[in-house]
Structure 1
Amino acid sequence: MPGTRITDQQVTIYMKHRKRNSQVIAAAKAGISERSARRIDKLDEQPLSNKRQWRTRIDPLESIWDSIVVPLLQGDATLTPVGIFDHLCEFHTDKFNPSSRRTLERRIHKWRALYGSSKEVVFLQTHEYGLLGMCDFTHVKSPVTIASEPLKHMLFHYRMPASGWAYAQVIYGGESFAAFSDGVQNAFKAAGGVPKEVRTDSLSAAYRNHTNDNDFTERFNELVTHYGFKATRNNRGIAHENGAIESPHGHLKSQLEQALKIRGSYDFQTREVYESFVADIVARRNRRVSDKYAVEQRQLHALPRTMSVNYTEHYLTVSRTSTISLKRVTYSVPSRLIGSRLLVRLYDNRLELRYGSDLVQTLARVYASKGCRARNISYLHVIDALVKKPLAFRYSQLRDDLLPSDNYKAIWEYVNAHLLADEASYYMVKLLHLAKQSGCERQLGRFVAASITQRQLPAIRECEAQFLVIASNIPTITIKQHSLSAYSSMIPGGLHG
């Protein structure tokens, strides 16, 4: 309109719409005349800066800003606006009104932008295909249980940041070399190749951290040489330098937690089922980057023909109790091995028992809590010997460990309370022996436990009749009918001789 000045906002709106519209349309959208639009296009019309330079109200921070707040900001750059606000409310109520909190926060933000110290800068990285693989351990906080027993575990996480392809493995112990070696080698195998560089944090399983040099441990050096990659690590105590693996830690665990909630249960029947569940989640993530992974896989070095050593070796003699002890854990072994000297290969999740070069037994590894001892006892290893002296069951130090499930523990409590001492031991040993013979440990335990709830203890013969199936061993006899001529040849001179 004539006599009305064009504001800075109108000029901004006009210039915005002028990029995509004609002069007439842009002028209409900005609420100015076409003549004014022509002047703007010719740079004849300059925006007028008519902002006031005076205050319209009293500054509420005038009495405390220069004398109190600024010295605090200069003294410690980590002080937060909330911390300063709390200090003013507590000790300077005569000069500061709590209603000025937002004004205080804006003023602090502006002061730090003008006079504050430098901040850390995130430098985005460009990753080449096949160049880098990153790995680390991360703790899982989800309350996962195995057969209702809490599962203490963590994840070994490997990732190639160029493509985003990842691998995760459930780890039941700590950040040991066996866990690291097993995880990284399985990751290489799943990826189909080895990157040029593998980066970790300062793992004590890989580096001698008591020195300032990047010295490898002997076993880690063998692993590096075997696969031919370059090993690097971030600075000690600065985890965010491994941001390409630290941030995906959170994404992976969040996706795992969501999948567990959708599943409706944190309980799994066995460790193997849970490991498969985790593998499916990682595979789901990898399918989203399959095109980039296909490009990166072509840049990886070929795998060696054999895996490197991912275990430690220990020589142990089986005691007369048919057990061995390793890492504060007592394991039972088949009684036929009593007195034998075995080579035990200790992996992160299992023990391999070897007699000479022959593998005789594989046991699930158990980890003892700090300062405590643990046991991994199986009745299957000693029940044949226990049948010969069943009364030894009652006061055996391994009695509670020999009971394989809660059902059998409930059965023992019942028979111990309702039968004579010898009869209770005899019944329990015979029941365990039947469980081994029939191969129906769980079904037998549920059957007897269900009968006990009805105050009826089934006899051992009744259990045998239902669960012990003895296969008939009737030999197959084939009868061949001989010809008459064969008989005649046995008579001297023939039939008419």
Structure 2
Amino acid sequence: MSGPGQEVFFSQIYKPGQWCESDFTRMNKLGITICSIPFIHMLYHFVLCLSNWETVTVCFSESYESLSAGLQNALWKLGGIPRYHKTDNLTSAVNKVGNPEEFTANYRGLASHYGFQSCKIQPHCPYENGDIEQRHHRLKRAVEQALILRGSRDFNSREDYEMFLEKLLDQLNTGRTKLLAEELMVLWQLPARRHEDFTRDKCRVSRGCTIRVLKNSYSVHSRIRGENVDVRIYAEHIEVWYAQRIIEVLPRLHGENGHYINYRHVIDTLVRKPGAFENYCYKDDMFPTSQFRIVYDILRDQHGMKKGNKQYLKILELAANENQTSVNEALRFLINKADTIDFDMVKQIVKSEQQPPDVTDVCIGDIDINSYDCLLECAEALLV
């Protein structure tokens, strides 16, 4: 025999309550939908290395906030703290090579709060996190089988899907109770409270009434233009604080250069400056529903650009001051019934407090495909 030796993998023996591992895994290939809409998401996956007790948290990015929420959910559900927590080289927990600090400040604070020792694997060596990697594979296989037995991959809500996952994990963990009991006996006690699930930032409100958070833009009310605000960044939303009170709760955007602009924050100024609307950089965010967009196009066709913009902004102001749902229903009615549309017509319907009649729904009953077999018995079909 000649040549270099091959890489050797060493089986591990774990003591009760010593080691846990966690990681994120994407679930998109399983085709989960919520009300027939694809549910693009991932799971934060936590496992005890000896007993293989596991739990998950639905999330949408590998951010520190998702890691913090998922890990804390797991520890509090478990009821104790293992000595060591191992991850791969998550940017939410591990600093880049060359940084004198191995782990990020936020993650060090989380570890200090719970008292566990942080560990990470070497870059490009997922087998060093083998327990969680294997659990990813087996969990997805179990979810796939459960979906097949369920007969549908569609759920009525995210809550229904999370209940489905929780029930499945309870079933998977049932066979691990003996080893889990050994681990529970030696886990460290939980602290009196959870660590903060958010990170903090400070922003200055721009002239356009927007703030910049993690390379994305969000609108705030024009009343605080030019002021400094505190921002709390959670896994799925951000909170804007001013003068020690919360003034906005906004959905968190992921990625870079996105924007979430609420028309209610700027509509009062746009009504006074309608000329700014035509080329407004966030113009697409000024159409809260498809009905508003359709009416805007109709107004431009019927009244021209300048007057059409003014008419639309007054309708948008009505939605902000009265009720967006009522305005939307009025627009839907006028789109289907009226030859022309203007602000006064919309206002009259909304102020009358009368609900426009519903659009007629055409219902077609389910078709029994077995009935097509009868055609085969017809002489005409046989001749063909």
Q: TM-score range by the shorter chain?
A: 0.7 to 0.9
Alignment partner of 1:135 out of 11, 17, 22: 22
SS of the aligned residue for 1:380 comes to helix
Look up the match of 1:302. 189
Output the TM-score relative to the length of structure 1.
0.60
Do residues 157 (structure 1) and 45 (structure 2) align?
Answer: yes
Residue 256 and residue 214 in structure 1: after superposition, are their counterparts in 2 closer, same or farther (change >3 A)? farther
Do residues 169 (structure 1) and 53 (structure 2) align?
Answer: no
Alignment partner of 1:178 out of 54, 65, 70: 65
Letter in 2 for 1:400: D
Letter in 1 for 2:331: V
Alignment partner of 2:335 out of 443, 452, 470: 452
Question: Shift in Å at residue 389 of structure 1?
Answer: 4.5
**How many Å separate the matches in 2 of 1:286 and 1:457?**
59
Q: Could you say what the CA RMSD is over the residues aligned between the two structures, in angstroms?
A: 3.6
> Identity percentage over the alignment?
27
Spell out, residue by residue over 1:255-304, the C-alpha distance to the aligned partner (whole angstroms, 9 max, x if none).
55566675756687xxxx43662353134212442471566445432221
**How many Å separate the matches in 1 of 2:320 and 2:39?**
27
SS of the aligned residue for 1:289 comes to helix
Look up the match of 2:89. 202
Residue 386 and residue 230 in structure 1: after superposition, are their counterparts in 2 closer, same or farther (change >3 A)? same
Residue 432 and residue 162 in structure 1: after superposition, are their counterparts in 2 closer, same or farther (change >3 A)? farther
Alignment partner of 1:406 out of 279, 282, 290: 290
Contact persistence 1:223–1:308 (CA under 8 A): yes
Output the TM-score relative to the length of structure 2.
0.75
SS of the aligned residue for 2:44 comes to strand
Contact persistence 1:157–1:169 (CA under 8 A): yes
Contact persistence 1:317–1:340 (CA under 8 A): yes
**How many Å separate the matches in 1 of 2:187 and 2:114?**
12
Describe how 1:242-391 pairs up with structure 2 within 5 A: 242-256=129-143, 264=152, 273-274=157-158, 277-278=161-162, 280-290=164-174, 292=177, 293=180, 296-369=183-256, 373-390=257-274
Unaligned runs of 5+ in 2: 356-384
Larger Rg: 1
Contact persistence 2:330–2:349 (CA under 8 A): no
Letter in 2 for 1:365: R
Question: Shift in Å at residue 333 of structure 1?
Answer: 0.8
Contact persistence 1:155–1:169 (CA under 8 A): yes
Question: Shift in Å at residue 221 of structure 1?
Answer: 2.3
**How many Å separate the matches in 1 of 2:55 and 2:340?**
51
Spell out, residue by residue over 1:440-461, the C-alpha distance to the aligned partner (whole angstroms, 9 max, x if none).
53x6435523542455566211
**How many Å separate the matches in 1 of 2:333 and 2:16?**
60
**How many Å separate the matches in 1 of 2:93 and 2:190?**
21
Bigger shift: residues 320-329 or 250-259: 250-259
Question: Shift in Å at residue 197 of structure 1?
Answer: 1.6
Describe how 1:42-61 pairs up with structure 2 within 5 A: none
Question: Shift in Å at residue 323 of structure 1?
Answer: 1.0
Alignment partner of 2:350 out of 463, 467, 475: 463
Aligned residues: 346
Look up the match of 1:424. 308
Describe how 1:42-81 pairs up with structure 2 within 5 A: none
Letter in 1 for 2:250: L
Question: Shift in Å at residue 157 of structure 1?
Answer: 1.3
Bigger shift: residues 457-466 or 140-149: 140-149
Question: Shift in Å at residue 341 of structure 1?
Answer: 0.6
Q: Which has the higher contact order (CA 8 A, sep 6+)?
A: 2
Contact persistence 1:444–1:467 (CA under 8 A): no
Look up the match of 1:65. none
Contact persistence 1:168–1:279 (CA under 8 A): no
Residue 120 and residue 275 in structure 1: after superposition, are their counterparts in 2 closer, same or farther (change >3 A)? farther
Residue 341 and residue 149 in structure 1: after superposition, are their counterparts in 2 closer, same or farther (change >3 A)? farther
**How many Å separate the matches in 1 of 2:96 and 2:206?**
38
Unaligned runs of 5+ in 1: 1-73, 78-116, 469-497
